[in-house]
Chains A and B, each alone.
Chain A
């Protein structure tokens, strides 16, 4: 059966009342619960902070001081940590997800396929807390991977050890999502192309390198960036596994809120983080637009 995607026809909602009825509630929730808080956040980030006060003073003077204060080494290192740990995790995730997705699409029986997909979807839907806790149990003081890391010469309290555990936590969440994203692209690659390349004499690995990889390259790029977006907005994983030594941007926002109640500064960091996330999404959109135009 071929699927024909049709444009919705014009037996559409005839009057404005129905449009208001269907779209109204969502618009209301969106405007009140999402748009207004973000605008308010932008305004708050320009307010002067009075130490010892919760939140900014009502008619505080407008200032860029909160942004200016972020231009120091401490925040730069937080930004750097977020991006490099997130980037490493995103890339390791793709290195596993790519062959795994191919394997699920082409190499296993329908039964095993359902089982593997079920496992991956379970991982996507299961709580990030459980995964974080499980990683801590596995790599922590009683974990079975601990002796392994120790033989590599890593002291459990060293920065490297903690970095590896945080990366492991992120990768654990990234692999399932990246695999499920890549499966879609792999499914649309005609397997006959690979057969053709091989029957024309190309060895298998070369055929994959010249067929499978280029054809799924755009999907691989967007999967990498989606993983990166996930990693740079991670909160629980660095908070629990980082033991206060690895701080991501979101952890600093939370500290500004919970420890020192400097809301204007928290708001400024929020906007920096939002800008970072939007930049990554802009790259994805650009890559996808190029794919369509090609």
Chain B
């Protein structure tokens, strides 16, 4: 074995272990806080003590469901997320069809305009909406929240629907029409089913984003309509106890459920391949 290849191997070994070390530490850093939160949610102590808990119990969960403000805001959040998803998906899918099929000047500009709420900081959107809606005389909390949530979820729905529409084979629609389908029939039986992946992905993102948002909801919530994250944030700032850990476990479970649906219906590779994230 020559000196050179020995040096090369040593270099490789060092570089390799360095890379694996970083990956291992990185994954541990991502997972450990979530694991701690889940374990601590079952802590039998009535105060916030160090890890690990000496005994397990469900009492933090009982406390969670006995808090009226949390239950009320959970209800608001769920209703809001469902309404947001339905509206965003409907408007977004229609817009994607219009953008993909329409032949008009300024199409590219319109597409980027529709996606632009993604690059504006959420706090700016929330604050801007608050000022504008107050001026416009719209004071209903639920209506304000709904508009705010549709604004931030619509770009995702448009983007995913548009991607799957452009990725699917247009000739299938042409074929249907050559075979005598009307434009409407071709849309409902061919085009829309082909867009399914994008529509479902968009819906899951819209639901998750709506359930999660704090930055916008904090500005638009009022006593009659407060979302769960807003209630949790104010609890978190007031007193740091473990009912929030219990709430986190519930929310993680909901997210995991969404992820399983996403994988079954769409597949992770499609999601990653479409590049769903801001850029």
Q: Which residues of A contact B275 (CB under 8 A)?
A: 181, 184
* Minimum C-beta distance from B89 to chain A (A): 12
The distance from the CB of B46 to the nearest CB of chain A, in whole angstroms, is: 14
Residues of B within 8 A of A203 (CB): 8-9, 11-12
Q: Note all chain B residues with C-beta closer than 8 A to A240.
A: 233, 236-237
Residue A163 interfacial (CB < 8 Å): no
Among residues 196 to 223 in chain B, which have CB atoms less than 8 Å away from a CB atom of chain A? Answer: 204-205, 208, 211-212, 214-215, 218-219
A103 to B259, CA, bound (A): 22
Provide the A217-255 mask, 1 if CB < 8 A to any CB of B, else 0.
000001000100110110110011000000001100110
Known: A26-B94, A175-B30, A203-B9. A125 touches B208 (CB 8 A): yes
Min Cβ gap A228→B in Å is: 11
| B residues contacting the other copy or chain, number (CB 8 A) | 110
Check B101 against A12 for contact (C-beta < 8 Å). yes
Contact B129 A30 (CB under 8 A): no
A284/B128 in contact, CB under 8 A = no
Contact of A12 (CB < 8 Å), options: B22, B37, B103: B103
Contact A233/B122 with A142-B48, A253-B127 known, Cβ cut-off 8 Å: yes
Instruction: Check B278 against A226 for contact (C-beta < 8 Å).
Output: yes
Q: Is A33 a contact partner of B94 (Cβ separation < 8 A)?
A: no
Chain B nearest CB from A32 CB (Å) reads: 8
Q: Which of A143, A226, A236, A250 has a CB less than 8 Å from the CB of B121?
A: A250
- B10 CB to closest chain A CB (Å) equals 9
The answer to whether B105 has its CB under 8 Å from any CB of chain A is no
> Is B15 part of the contact surface with A, judged by Cβ < 8 Å?
yes
B278 to chain A: closest residue by CB = A226
Q: For the complex, what is the distance from the CA of A220 to the CA of B219, rounded to whole Å?
A: 34
Q: Is A123 an interface residue (CB 8 A)?
A: yes
Chain B residues positioned under 8 Å from A226 (CB to CB) = 277-279
A44 to B124, CA, bound (A): 13
Over the window 72-100 of chain B, the binary record of Cβ atoms lying under 8 Å from chain A Cβ atoms (1 yes, 0 no) is 00000000000000000011101101111
Please give, as numbers and ranges, the residues of chain B lying within 8 Å of A281 by CB-CB distance. 119
Interface residues in chain A, defined as those with a beta carbon under 8 Å from any beta carbon in chain B: 3-6, 8-14, 18-19, 21-23, 25-26, 29-30, 32-34, 36-38, 40-41, 44, 55, 95-97, 99-100, 102-103, 114, 117-119, 121-131, 133-138, 140-144, 168, 171-172, 175-177, 180-181, 183-184, 203-206, 208, 222, 226, 229-230, 232-233, 235-236, 239-240, 249-250, 253-254, 257, 263, 266-267, 270, 273-274, 277-278, 281, 284
> Can you show 17 pairs from A to B with CB atoms below 8 A apart?
A3-B167, A9-B170, A19-B98, A29-B91, A29-B150, A37-B133, A100-B23, A125-B212, A126-B255, A127-B255, A130-B251, A133-B248, A176-B30, A235-B123, A240-B237, A267-B128, A270-B128
